[in-house]
């Protein structure tokens, strides 16, 4: 049996359908329900890379903790600070977890390809996103080159780290040069004139993706209705 590998956009729709009820809730139960659903979905369908997921989630969870202590220590008049802080913590933690899970489940390149192939994202924007993503690793390389150049200028002796205040100008000049080369390369390939391009890597939208999204949306809607019916769900957008 061929394993189900969902389209990155199908995973995006699924995660968003789980995040909407959490975004609108201020009770402690709704975030827990959809957090568990999202985690099961990520492990079973998205083949979640747990170690990478935790490496990103743990630092980001400090935002949720700060919101908890803000509400606990500085509650509004007539509001139970502990209950309010716990609900806000769970909501923000669930939203961060669901977002982080999606980031670790998909490849950025596949997301961009899927947007161009399935949602008609203009090629100019898609390839610009490719170029921008590829530029990120170059920044670290440029910082190392700048440091080596500084060592050479200091007579071969290992100099102190360059202050962060001096890095932006040097880095910006390198990024501008890299951007000019990319724009010339993209213009030479006719990206501004081409209406239909072929792809080496295809990321098609399959019927199974549609079925998967329908099942996730229906399941999320059913749980949301149950939470509202039993007066567990409390609406608050702020």
Residue recorded with tokens 């081409």: 194
pLDDT tens track for 196-222:
777 888 999 999 999 999 999 999 999
pLDDT at 154: 67
Please determine, for residue 171, whether its predicted confidence score (pLDDT) is greater than 70: yes
Residue recorded with tokens 């609900």: 87
pLDDT tens track for 100-121:
999 999 999 999 999 999 999 9
Say if CB 107 and CB 1 are below 8 A apart: no
Candidates 193, 192, 5, 198; CA nearest to 116 is 198
pLDDT mean over 213-237: 95
| All residues at 6 or more sequence positions from 70 whose CB lies less than 8 Å from its CB, including other chains | 85
Residue recorded with tokens 């969902």: 6
Say if CB 123 and CB 191 are below 8 A apart: yes
| All residues at 6 or more sequence positions from 150 whose CB lies less than 8 Å from its CB, including other chains | 159, 162
Please determine, for residue 158, whether its predicted confidence score (pLDDT) is greater than 60: no
- Looking at per-residue confidence, does 123 or 226 come out higher? 226
Residue 136 CA to its chain's centroid (Å): 16
Q: Where are the beta strands (DSSP E) in 81-201?
A: none
Please determine, for residue 22, whether its predicted confidence score (pLDDT) is greater than 80: yes
Q: In whole angstroms, give the CA distance from residue 84 to residue 70.
A: 10
Q: In whole angstroms, give the CA distance from residue 11 to residue 216.
A: 10
Which range has the worst mean pLDDT, 25-34, 181-190, 212-221? 181-190
Please determine, for residue 21, whether its predicted confidence score (pLDDT) is greater than 90: yes
- Looking at per-residue confidence, does 104 or 193 come out higher? 104
Q: In whole angstroms, give the CA distance from residue 80 to residue 84.
A: 6
User: How much is the pTM?
Assistant: 0.83
Q: In whole angstroms, give the CA distance from residue 96 to residue 84.
A: 18
Please determine, for residue 159, whether its predicted confidence score (pLDDT) is greater than 60: no
Token code pair at residue 234? 């409390």
Say if CB 92 and CB 67 are below 8 A apart: yes
User: How many Å from the N-terminal Cα to the C-terminal Cα in the chain?
Assistant: 46
Say if CB 105 and CB 7 are below 8 A apart: no
The overall average pLDDT reported for the chain is 87
- Render 140-163 in DSSP notation, one character per residue: HHHHHHHHHHHHHHTTTSPPPPPP
pLDDT mean over 152-173: 66
Q: In whole angstroms, give the CA distance from residue 66 to residue 72.
A: 10
């Amino acid at each position: 049996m061929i394993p189900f590998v969902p389209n990155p956009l199908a995973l995006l729709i699924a995660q968003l359908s789980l995040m909407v009820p959490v975004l609108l809730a201020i009770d402690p139960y709704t975030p827990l329900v959809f957090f568990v659903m999202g985690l099961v979905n990520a492990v079973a369908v998205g083949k979640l890379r747990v170690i990478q997921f935790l490496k990103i989630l743990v630092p980001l969870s400090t935002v949720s903790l700060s919101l908890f202590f803000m509400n606990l220590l500085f509650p509004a008049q007539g509001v139970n600070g502990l209950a309010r802080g716990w609900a806000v913590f769970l909501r923000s933690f669930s939203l961060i977890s669901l977002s982080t899970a999606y980031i670790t489940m998909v490849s950025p390149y596949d997301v961009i390809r899927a947007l161009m192939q399935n949602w008609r994202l203009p090629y100019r924007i898609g390839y610009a996103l490719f170029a921008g993503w590829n530029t990120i690793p170059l920044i670290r390389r440029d910082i190392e080159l700048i440091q080596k150049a500084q060592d050479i200028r200091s007579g071969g002796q290992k100099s102190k780290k360059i202050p962060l205040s001096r890095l932006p100008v040097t880095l910006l000049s390198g990024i501008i040069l890299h951007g000019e080369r990319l724009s010339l390369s993209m213009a030479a390939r006719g990206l501004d004139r081409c209406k239909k391009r072929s792809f080496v890597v295809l990321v098609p939208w399959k019927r199974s993706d549609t079925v998967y999204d329908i099942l996730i949306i229906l399941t999320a809607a059913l749980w949301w209705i149950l939470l509202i019916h039993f007066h567990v769900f409390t609406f608050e957008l702020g």
